Amino acid sequence: MAFKGSTVALLIGVGAVALCAGAIAALEAQQAPAAPGGRAGGRGGSAAGVFTAVDVNKQGFVTRDELKAAFAKWLADGDTARTGSVTEEQLAAALNAALPQPAAPPAGAGGGRGAAPQNQIPKPEDVAKMMAALPGKAPAKPKQPRKVLVLAKAAGFVHSCIPLAAKTVEAMGNKTGAWTTTITYDPAAITAENLKQYDLIFLDNTTGAFLDDPNDPVATAARRKALLDFVRNGKGLAGIHAAGDSYHETAGAARGGAAAPAAGRGAGTMLAMQMVTAGDKNSDRKLSRDEFNSLADAWFDKLDPDKTGKVSQADFTARFASVLPAAGANGGRATAAAGAGRGAQQGRDMEVGTWPDFDKLIGGFFKFHWTYPQFITVKIDDPKSPLTAMFHGQEYEIHDETYTFGMDTWSRTNLHVLTSIDYAKMSDADKAKENWPRADHDYGLSWIHREGKGRVFYEAHGHDESIYAITPLLEHVLAGVQYAIGDLKADDSPSAKPAK
């Protein structure tokens, strides 16, 4: 189904999408080191760091020989026992020593006292499109005047669409009369006293440990308690997209082992995993000298498609995503070369929660997304719900950054699922891009559930600015907020019973 006219078609042409600034795959091919509570600190972009390490003569470009020399050095540095090969952990230690490490977060990061300010102004053209697509009427009449607090703090990756999403919630409430809105980028607003005036908190693409103040554990604990008490005592919580990319981190060992050594937690950790995934031809989870050489050649062929013999820093950065396989559970960039012919890795994903109460509250946490923008067919799991009435029981198609949630963090036994990925309609090539896929291939996209006396709504799409110009999706969010706020009744019983 595609929506026409002023609603903007849900099937959005890739070339027509106004890319969310933080979403260009070539500029975010690699994450920063893990920070507590959010997708390895938020997609830092180590392509420039790798280029700096390879371009040892500082000529502003790299050659095949320079790349192979850098690979040989990483092998030698990691192979301290001189066995002729390196494990993933040994390579991680070598890369972390060789690559420039991102600076430590500023004092007060996540606490609103010293962190760099986020952009708070949406683009006028995006606002105009959003205003034209806004629903004209709320599905339910408010039982009383309602107040919504939009929290737009991102402690990990900062989506460029955050100010537009905040403006959308405000404008939607104003136009329909369903609520009034206060927007804040300061987590210090989450206090028991301040929250007394609100009926719902809307988490606008929050990432990482968005409530925490690393310099004040007492303030952190108070904010966390205030949020949980707010919902459990009868109020509402709604979240969009990266609200599900909060309070989790990558487990130390990939595939269920013990925690990785401290040396494996820098900028090279994920790169080491991706290099081993791509270059390990005999599945021994190591890279030999020959495998290193082959991988270096494969890298350079992709970085230098025009066969000029050298790659500038700009081209290296722009093309870096093409050399990496899917990082699967770590949120790294997926490519068609996922697994380098070995197939997606199976089993439990590598993400672990850092605040279990919040992870349960929001419904799970991020484990993977396909290369943006990914074509997805969305199916309607509960066509009788007032929260899906705008879809008329019909599947729809969308291009956006689509999140998936892991086996251990997301379950229909805890949630009433409204929409989900029609996995059967995905191509085999797209399915193969995901490492550690769910065994049940069940990927929820929006859901509701009870939390104590309160209610929660979550929608996984909302990465790209264009999403906020699609009327049916805005109607879906409007209904979700009205459910969570307590004005719209809906079946919120779990979609599945626990297995006996």
Do both 308 and 229 map to the same domain? no
Report pLDDT for 259.
36
pLDDT tens-digit readout, 15-25: 333 333 333 23
pTM of the model: 0.68
Q: Which residues contact 232 (CB under 8 A, 6 or more apart)?
A: 451, 452, 453, 454
263 in a domain, yes or no? yes
Do both 277 and 196 map to the same domain? no
Do both 239 and 258 map to the same domain? no
Strands 200-204 and 236-240: parallel
Does 335 have pLDDT greater than 90?
A: no
Do both 271 and 312 map to the same domain? yes
pLDDT tens-digit readout, 372-410: 778 999 999 999 999 999 999 999 999 999 999 988 889
CATH code assigned at 210: 3.40.50.880
Does 295 have pLDDT greater than 50?
A: yes
Adjacency order of strands within the sheet including 200-204: 180-184, 147-151, 200-204, 236-240, 454-459, 444-451, 416-421, 374-380, 396-400
Residue 157: pLDDT band with limits 50, 70, 90: confident
Report pLDDT for 252.
52
What gap in Å lies between CA 47 and CA 154, rounded to an integer? 23
Strands 236-240 and 245-246: unpaired
Q: Please check whether residue 340 is in contact with residue 299, taking contact to mean a CB–CB distance below 8 angstroms.
A: no
Rg (CA), the chain: 23
Report pLDDT for 325.
65
Q: Among 290, 306, 341, identify where a domain stops.
A: 341
Share of the chain above pLDDT 90, in %: 58
Residue whose structure tokens are 């070995």: 342
Mean per-residue pLDDT, 335-359: 62
pLDDT tens-digit readout, 213-262: 999 999 999 999 999 999 999 999 999 999 999 998 876 533 333 333 33
Do both 171 and 238 map to the same domain? yes
Do both 427 and 475 map to the same domain? yes
Do both 199 and 131 map to the same domain? yes
Domain count for the chain, please give it: 2
3-state DSSP: the chain helix, strand, coil percent, rounded to 5? Answer: 40, 15, 45
Question: Greater confidence, 493 or 279?
Answer: 493
What gap in Å lies between CA 332 and CA 321, rounded to an integer? 9
Report pLDDT for 348.
64
Report pLDDT for 46.
63
Do both 223 and 150 map to the same domain? yes
334 in a domain, yes or no? yes
Report pLDDT for 97.
84
pLDDT tens-digit readout, 75-134: 999 998 899 999 888 898 888 888 765 444 443 344 444 455 799 999 999 999 999 999
Residue 41: pLDDT band with limits 50, 70, 90: very low
Report pLDDT for 345.
57
What gap in Å lies between CA 3 and CA 384, rounded to an integer? 20
Q: Which domain holds residue 441?
A: 124-249+354-485
Residue 52: pLDDT band with limits 50, 70, 90: confident
Report pLDDT for 101.
54
What gap in Å lies between CA 484 and CA 43, rounded to an integer? 31
- Two structure tokens written together for 89: 């952990």
- Two structure tokens written together for 63: 């050659």
226 in a domain, yes or no? yes
Query: 126, 130, 124: which is closest to 7 by C-alpha?
Result: 130
Do both 77 and 221 map to the same domain? no
Do both 394 and 457 map to the same domain? yes
Sign for the CA dihedral angle at 40, 119, 462, 386 comes to: positive
Q: Among 279, 306, 341, identify where a domain stops.
A: 341
pLDDT tens-digit readout, 438-455: 889 999 999 999 999 999
Do both 434 and 474 map to the same domain? yes
Neighbouring C-alpha atoms within 13 Å toward the C-beta of 280: 22
Q: Please check whether residue 479 is in contact with residue 373, taking contact to mean a CB–CB distance below 8 angstroms.
A: no
23 in a domain, yes or no? no
Do both 413 and 437 map to the same domain? yes
Q: Among 341, 375, 407, identify where a domain stops.
A: 341
